[in-house]
């Protein structure tokens, strides 16, 4: 996980703690929205991913006003993820480089046969990868 965090910080300029939290939010989103088999294979290929997800999402309750609005809009999907990343300190302009680096790393570690179905199954995700 340290290698991925370093790559994200180098690409985006985010500090390591923010990058780690953002990665945890994205991986949790993939767990919720993506195809279970491929997401499981991705997480297995990224040692420390489960702990990163748990740390990033600790203390999540109702999600506040944005969570409530996202819930009223059918869960929010990628838009809800964007709100969560902004709340974690990721500027809008750094979301695409963050996603690109995370998915490039995923392709290196898990392969395109794992990452392709994940990207293809989540509406709107392709704009961030």
Q: Using CA atoms, how far apart are residues 43 and 106, in angstroms rounded to an integer?
A: 9
pLDDT tens track for 22-44: 999 999 999 999 999 999 999 99
As a whole number of angstroms, the distance between CA 24 and CA 20 comes to 6
Residue 126 DSSP code: G
Closest CA to 23 of 72, 42, 126, 62: 42
pTM for the predicted model, two decimal places: 0.87
- Reported as a single tens digit per residue, the pLDDT across 103-120 is 999 999 999 999 999 999
Domains of the chain in sequence order: 2-128 (1.10.490)
Contact 102, 52 (CB under 8 A): no
Q: What is the pLDDT of residues 46-60, one digit of tens each?
A: 999 999 999 998 866
pLDDT at residue 63, rounded to an integer: 47
């Amino acid at each position: 996980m340290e290698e991925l965090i370093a790559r994200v910080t180098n690409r985006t300029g985010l500090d390591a703690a923010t990058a780690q939290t953002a990665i945890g939010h994205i991986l949790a989103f993939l767990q919720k929205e993506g195809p279970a088999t491929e997401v499981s294979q991705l997480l297995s290929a990224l040692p420390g991913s489960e702990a990163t997800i748990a740390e990033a999402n600790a203390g999540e309750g109702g999600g506040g006003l944005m969570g409530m609005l996202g819930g009223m809009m059918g869960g929010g999907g990628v838009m809800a993820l964007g709100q969560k990343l902004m709340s974690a300190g990721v500027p809008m302009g750094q979301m695409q480089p963050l996603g690109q680096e995370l998915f490039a790393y995923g392709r290196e570690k898990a392969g395109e046969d794992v990452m392709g179905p994940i990207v293809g199954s989540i509406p709107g995700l392709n704009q961030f990868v």
